[in-house]
């Protein structure tokens, strides 16, 4: 009896604890929500502090909590919020210049280029841009090279060495562990599955990586060369000989202008603004200024709107959320924009390596329906490959950055197989069926020839459909032509322009400008999609468990080992035929 009482009191205590936590969470949300809605003020004689050491996404989607509106989130620190803020700062008399300070920028190459282009435009206002770094990563320096004056810590370091990437291969690991991946693919360059088939990189894969890395490096060098007035050949020599690795070497190589400590950098800005050395410098962080600039944009009175729909992340079959693209949220957004009479055109911003073939086709269909009502323009970000290209190919016009990674028109199917692992562990699986093909696949049995043929037929059908979709959507390309440039090969935006996969080089601003032209409107407001809806009750059920598990695994295994496990797990969880970019892109 006492035991039962103790159990009941423990259970009651747990429920009381969870109940208290629930209300504390709501109170914290109310406080955070009210504080986040506080008005941002900008003082006279201010400097915009561009510190970009947080993960930068194309779009920070507005999040709505069902039944708890005070918890709604609508942060303005996405890529295009930052760019809009830089544009607005050029016209803001209170902002005298921009400080790019110790970034370690967490953005892709094309995202970095988009911010860099905005800074180049800002310089036309006559206002200054200065930068400081204790450590300059290669991407940091690419961004900071637009500055009028570049400072570096006397004992700082710079990474300027060219681009590289690395892939892991698992063929021997599969043989030793007994856990194998059954692979069916179309396209000689479709190398997402190559690590499961080989121990070394294939010549085709090495060729495409070499081409696109050299393409990116060429763009980066060219823009740095223009900003720093250093010949491209000299930049190559600096990279080959690591002549920027220390502050003295970087200054001698003309990569930087001044060697100084951070306090001296701040004094320099004060001097330029006429602020006494003992007075405080008025700095405003980019996240705060983005909110301020967004508020100013809302004063537009035009009734006309252009919808910007963001497709960011891997494509999955399902609803989707702020991290992954699902046909659920994408098609809802397209339908809302299509049926809104005030929206005159749609710009689809894609930053995706692809994923589910079925979800890609469903999104393609919704775009096709939308095109019959109003123009659909695509703007590509860092990557719009495989399924990411599938949902772009039928747009009225496609814009991409020169550094965008696109194409990868190929298909694969992958199934995990544990037959050898089961044998090693003494596990045997027995099946009973009513028909010859009732058992289409078992984790505990290898694929037989019939099963492999059925899967291969499905992969070929999807590839034929994919290439036909591209041929129908791209003027001047027939299906044979698409297959010739397809085969799973990736291209930079610049190369994609030459082979007809895109129409024009440019960013989101260029896509919006074109959308306004074809919609025949001069003034417009932007309506952003999707809006993410969340259920707080469901989140509380998972509260504390998933995050703590991930943190624990990373701490115990190390970040790199954890990433390897996550990659293997991701591949085993993929269902159905995939249109996925051929490898994870981590350019170093």
- Condensed to tens digits (0 to 9), the pLDDT of residues 136-192 reads 999 999 999 999 999 999 999 999 999 998 889 999 999 888 888 888 888 777 677
Q: Is pLDDT at 345 greater than 60 in this prediction?
A: yes
Instruction: For residues 42-68, give the mean pLDDT.
Output: 81
Q: Which helix (H) or strand (E) holds 579?
A: strand 578-580
- Give the per-residue pLDDT at 573: 57
Contact 316, 573 (CB under 8 A): no
User: Which of 109-138 are b and which e, b meaning 16 or more Cβ less than 10 Å from the residue's Cβ?
Assistant: bbbbbbbbbbbeebbeeebbbbbbbbebbb
CA–CA distance, 210 with 188 (Å, rounded to integer):
16
Beta bridge partners of 284: 48
Whether residue 407 is predicted with pLDDT greater than 90 in this model: the reply is yes
In the predicted model, is pLDDT for residue 586 greater than 80?
no
Q: What is the mean pLDDT of residues 119-129?
A: 97
> Whole-angstrom Cα distance, residue 179 to residue 182?
10
Catalytic residue among 76, 139, 180, 190: 190
Domains of the chain: 46-161+242-294 (3.90.226.10), 301-539+576-580 (3.90.226.10)
Residue 35 banded pLDDT, cuts 50, 70, 90: very low
Average pLDDT, the chain: 86
From 229-233, 375-379, 535-539, the region with the lowest mean pLDDT:
535-539
Interval 391-415 mean pLDDT: 93
From the candidates 386, 408, 483, 494, give the one annotated as an active-site residue. Answer: 386
Q: What is the pLDDT of residue 297?
A: 67
pLDDT at 131 over 50: yes
Q: Which region among 376-385, 484-493, 564-573 has the lowest average model confidence (pLDDT)? A: 564-573
Q: Please give the pLDDT value at position 539.
A: 53
Sign, CA dihedral 553-559-565-570, equals: positive
> Any catalytic annotation for residue 386?
yes
Confidence of residue 488 (pLDDT cuts 50, 70, 90): confident
26-35, 136-145, 318-327, 471-480: least confidently modelled range: 26-35
As a dihedral over the C-alpha atoms of residue 380, residue 382, residue 383, residue 388, rounded to 10 degrees, the angle is -40
Mean pLDDT, range 453-471, rounded to an integer: 93
pLDDT of residue 36 exceeding 60, the answer is: no
240 vs 171: CA distance, rounded Å: 33
Per-residue pLDDT, averaged over 268-285, amounts to 93
- Active site annotation includes 139: no
Tell me how far apart the alpha carbons of residues 386 and 363 are, in angstroms, rounded to a whole number.
Answer: 14
> Is the per-residue pLDDT at 316 higher than 90?
yes
Query: What number of other Cβ atoms are within 10 A of residue 438's Cβ?
Result: 9
How high is the pLDDT of residue 188?
A: 73
d(CA 488, CA 358): 18
Highest mean pLDDT: which range of 378-382, 527-531, 554-558: 378-382
Asked whether residue 545 carries a pLDDT value surpassing 50, the answer given is no
Asked if residue 411 has pLDDT above 80, the reply is yes
Give the pLDDT score at 546.
46
- Of 148-152, 308-312, 460-464, 538-542, the range with the lowest mean pLDDT is 538-542
Q: Which of 10-24, 267-281, 412-426 has the highest mean pLDDT?
A: 267-281
When pLDDT is averaged across residues 446-474 and rounded to a whole number, the result is 91
- If pLDDT is split at 50, 70 and 90, which confidence band does 300 have? low
- What is the reported pLDDT for 406? 95
Task: List CB contacts of 57: < 8 A, sequence separation 6 or more.
Answer: 78, 79, 312
Burial (0-12, 13-18, 19+ Cβ within 10 Å), 389: buried
Mean pLDDT in residue range 242-264 = 97
Banded model confidence at residue 41, pLDDT cuts 50, 70, 90: confident
Tokens linked to 319: 């609803």
335 versus 64: which is more confidently predicted? Answer: 335
Average pLDDT over residues 439-459: 86
Tokens of 575: 């269902």
Flag whether pLDDT at 201 surpasses 60.
yes
């Amino acid at each position: 009896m006492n035991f039962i009482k103790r159990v009941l009191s423990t259970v009651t205590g747990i429920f009381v604890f969870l109940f208290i936590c629930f209300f504390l969470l709501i109170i914290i949300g109310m406080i955070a929500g009210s504080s986040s809605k506080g008005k941002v003020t900008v003082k006279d004689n201010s400097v915009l502090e561009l510190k970009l050491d947080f993960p930068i996404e194309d779009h920070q989607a507005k999040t709505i909590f069902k039944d708890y509106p005070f918890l709604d989130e609508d942060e303005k620190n996405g890529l295009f919020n930052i760019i809009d803020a830089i544009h607005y700062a050029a016209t803001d008399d209170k902002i005298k210049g921009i400080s790019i300070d110790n970034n370690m920028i967490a953005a892709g190459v094309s995202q970095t280029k988009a911010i860099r282009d905005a800074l180049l435009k800002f310089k036309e206002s006559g206002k200054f841009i200065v930068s400081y770094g204790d450590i300059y990563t290669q991407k940091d320096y690419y961004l900071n090279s637009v500055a009028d004056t570049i400072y570096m810590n006397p004992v700082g370091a710079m990474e300027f060495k060219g681009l590289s990437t690395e892939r892991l291969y698992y063929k021997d690991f599969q043989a030793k562990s007994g856990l194998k991946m059954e692979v069916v693919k179309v396209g000689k360059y479709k190398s997402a599955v190559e690590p499961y088939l080989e121990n070394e990189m294939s010549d085709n894969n090495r060729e495409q990586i070499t081409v696109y890395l050299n393409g990116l490096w060429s763009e980066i060098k060219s823009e740095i060369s223009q900003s720093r007035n250093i010949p491209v050949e000299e930049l190559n020599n600096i990279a080959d000989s690591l002549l920027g690795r220390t502050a003295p070497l970087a200054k001698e190589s003309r990569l930087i202008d001044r060697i100084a400590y951070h306090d001296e950098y701040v004094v320099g800005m004060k001097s330029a603004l006429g602020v006494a050395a003992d007075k405080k410098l008025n700095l405003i962080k980019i996240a705060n200024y983005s909110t301020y600039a967004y508020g100013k944009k809302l004063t537009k009175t035009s009734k006309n709107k252009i919808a910007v729909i963001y497709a960011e992340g891997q494509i999955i079959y399902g609803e989707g959320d702020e991290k992954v693209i699902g046909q659920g949220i994408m098609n809802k957004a397209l339908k809302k924009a299509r049926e809104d009479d005030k929206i005159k055109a749609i710009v689809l911003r894609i930053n995706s390596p692809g994923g589910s073939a079925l979800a890609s086709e469903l999104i393609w269909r919704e775009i096709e329906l939308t095109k019959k009502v109003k123009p659909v323009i695509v703007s590509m970000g860092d990557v719009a490959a495989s399924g990411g290209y599938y949902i772009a190919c039928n747009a009225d016009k496609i814009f991409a950055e020169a550094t965008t990674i696109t194409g990868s028109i190929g298909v694969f199917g992958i199934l995990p197989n544990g037959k050898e692992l089961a044998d090693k562990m003494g596990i045997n699986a027995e099946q009973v069926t009513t028909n010859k093909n009732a058992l289409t696949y078992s984790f505990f049995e290898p694929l037989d020839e019939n099963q492999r043929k059925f899967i291969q037929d499905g992969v070929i059908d999807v590839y034929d459909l994919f290439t036909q979709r591209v041929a129908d959507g791209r003027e001047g390309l027939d299906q044979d032509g698409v297959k010739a440039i397809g085969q799973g090969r990736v291209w930079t935006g610049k190369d994609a322009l030459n082979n007809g996969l895109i129409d024009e080089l440019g960013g989101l601003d260029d896509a919006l400008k074109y959308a306004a032209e074809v919609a025949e409107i001069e003034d417009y407001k932007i309506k952003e999609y999707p809006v993410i809806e969340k259920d707080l009750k469901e989140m509380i059920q998972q509260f504390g468990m998933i995050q703590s598990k991930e943190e624990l695994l990373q701490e115990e295994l190390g970040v790199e080992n954890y990433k390897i496990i996550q990659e293997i797990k991701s591949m085993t969880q993929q269902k159905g035929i995939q249109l996925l970019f051929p490898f994870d892109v981590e350019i170093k």
